[in-house]
Chains A and B, each alone.
Chain A
Amino acid sequence: MLSADEAAELIEAIAARQDRAAFARLFQHFAPRIKAFLMRGGADADAAAEVAQEAMILVWRKAASFDRSRASAATWVYTIARNKRIDLLRRTGRPPIETEDWLTIFSTEGDAADKSVLDGQTYMRMKELMDGLPADQLVVIRKAFFEDKTHTAIAEELRLPLGTVKSRIRLALGRLRVALEKEEGDR
């Protein structure tokens, strides 16, 4: 296992001194997880492995732009991996902006809430929180995260009125907000 602090230090070691051993440890932790994450969304093993590899190469190239005060290592790697997936699998109508530009143009600035949800234990609770959503909300949120689908595409696929999908998303995010605020307040 790799703690959030350890993962952050490994990315920083790549940025500071092109540390290949650090890259190898990050790769061993994240590449299989990226692959599993993508396969959960329907990608076949080969495509998932390719995206995982490409995403990790981008982790190497972009290591200097990682800022642990703005996002945890897992969140940062997730952002890179999901953009790479869209680049490579192009299952959405997203225009051909390279992931690198996408990350630069559309990076969020300023205070990051992620700071307060850094550790692995909290991640476990976030996942449990999501899995605990009512089934009709869970299916929509899972499709959004695992299958690269817009809420419009999800509505079409589930043959639901757009308004129904919107209200499920709003309810789900409301629950997540309340639970996370409570957790952040407990610290």
Chain B
Amino acid sequence: MSRHPAPDELLLDYATGVLPEGPALAVALKLALDPEARRTVDRLRALGGALLETEEAVGDVDLEGALARLDGVAVGPRPAPPMPQQGQAWAPAPLRSYIVGKDWKRAFGGFERIELALHGDTHRVALLRLEPGKGLPLHKHVANEYTVVLQGGYTDNTGSYAVGDFAVGPGPQEHEPIADPGEPCIALIVVEKPIVLTSKLGRWLNPLLRWGWM
């Protein structure tokens, strides 16, 4: 079991299909990297299947109408297995369509980032890459933040996070994540609202970092 699992309530929201795209992407990546989380979601979906299957049929559905519509609807081809992206071996399948043709950009603050475009979401989603020993400025979160580690690892005052670990924003607590030794740390970060920087320098930087951050 992962030392930092995704919370059950988030897996439930994912399995019932109600998560907004940003958090759904974070959970999808967690599932790609954590068989235990995958089992939980598979079981929840199976429970959905069970609820459907054991439902008592209500009459009065339009089979003729459905059959008539099939003439204009082709059966689609078998989907191709996802192709591993060159130089992006750390990116699990659900991430790949989001990062096609995108490159790391240096951000103010000594890290690199790729901003991901969502389908008009309220969340902001970015990949961050930190060299070993490098940190992010001390900050705190005003709303939910989800982090999934995809390569390397980082440590903050709440613990150490390795590949496949899932962190939920520490709430009112401040934190200052620092990349562990080894490979550069790559993580997906999903935030609901802008982050408030709390150090003196951070406060001064905040208007810049609000956009430079991700």
State whether B28 touches A111 (Cβ < 8 A).
Answer: no
| Stretch with Cβ within 8 A of A (4 or more), from B43-51, B132-140, B158-166, B203-211 | B43-51
Q: Which residues does chain A contribute within 8 Å of B120, judged by CB atoms?
A: 95-96
Q: Which residues does chain A contribute within 8 Å of B79, judged by CB atoms?
A: 64-65, 104
Q: Is B201 at the interface (CB under 8 A from chain A)? A: no
State whether B94 touches A120 (Cβ < 8 A).
Answer: no
Interface core residue of B7, B35, B76 (most chain A CB under 10 Å): B76
The binding surface of chain B is classed by DSSP as: helix
> Using a Cβ–Cβ cut-off of 8 Å, how many residues does chain B contribute to the interface with A?
66
Q: A95 — nearest CB in chain B belongs to which residue?
A: B119
State whether A53 touches B66 (Cβ < 8 A).
Answer: yes
State whether A28 touches B63 (Cβ < 8 A).
Answer: yes
Known: A113-B39, A127-B50. A150 touches B19 (CB 8 A): yes
**Beta-carbon contacts under 8 Å, B92-121 to A:** 93-94, 97, 118-121
- One digit per residue, 1 when the CB lies within 8 angstroms of any chain A CB and 0 when it does not, for chain B 8-35 equals 1111111011111100110010011001
Among B9, B31, B32, B77, the residue within 8 A (CB) of A64 is: B77
**Beta-carbon contacts under 8 Å, B39-79 to A:** 39-63, 65-67, 69-70, 73-79
Q: Is B38 at the interface (CB under 8 A from chain A)? A: yes
Q: B57 — nearest CB in chain A belongs to which residue?
A: A32
Q: Is B173 at the interface (CB under 8 A from chain A)? A: no
State whether B55 touches A23 (Cβ < 8 A).
Answer: no
Q: Is B122 at the interface (CB under 8 A from chain A)? A: yes
Q: Which residues does chain A contribute within 8 Å of B73, judged by CB atoms?
A: 57, 60-61
- Taking the closest CB of chain A, its distance from the CB of B148, in whole angstroms, is 14
Interface residues of B (CB under 8 A from A): 7-14, 16-21, 24-25, 28, 31-32, 35, 38-63, 65-67, 69-70, 73-79, 93-94, 97, 118-122
State whether A166 touches B77 (Cβ < 8 A).
Answer: no
- Taking the closest CB of chain B, its distance from the CB of A8, in whole angstroms, is 12
Known: A114-B46, A145-B48, A149-B18. A24 touches B67 (CB 8 A): yes
**Beta-carbon contacts under 8 Å, A43-65 to B:** 45, 48-49, 52-53, 56-57, 60-65
Known: A33-B52, A64-B77, A77-B52. A114 touches B94 (CB 8 A): no
State whether A74 touches B75 (Cβ < 8 A).
Answer: no
Known: A49-B60, A49-B61, A144-B16. A106 touches B51 (CB 8 A): no
State whether B75 touches A79 (Cβ < 8 A).
Answer: no
5 residue pairs, one from A and one from B, having the closest CB atoms: A75-B49, A32-B57, A74-B49, A123-B50, A126-B50
Docked pose: A75 CA to B15 CA in angstroms: 11
- Taking the closest CB of chain A, its distance from the CB of B206, in whole angstroms, is 27
Q: Which residues does chain A contribute within 8 Å of B61, judged by CB atoms?
A: 27, 31-32, 35, 49, 52-53
- One digit per residue, 1 when the CB lies within 8 angstroms of any chain B CB and 0 when it does not, for chain A 18-43 equals 10100110011111111111011000
**Beta-carbon contacts under 8 Å, A140-155 to B:** 141, 144-146, 148-151
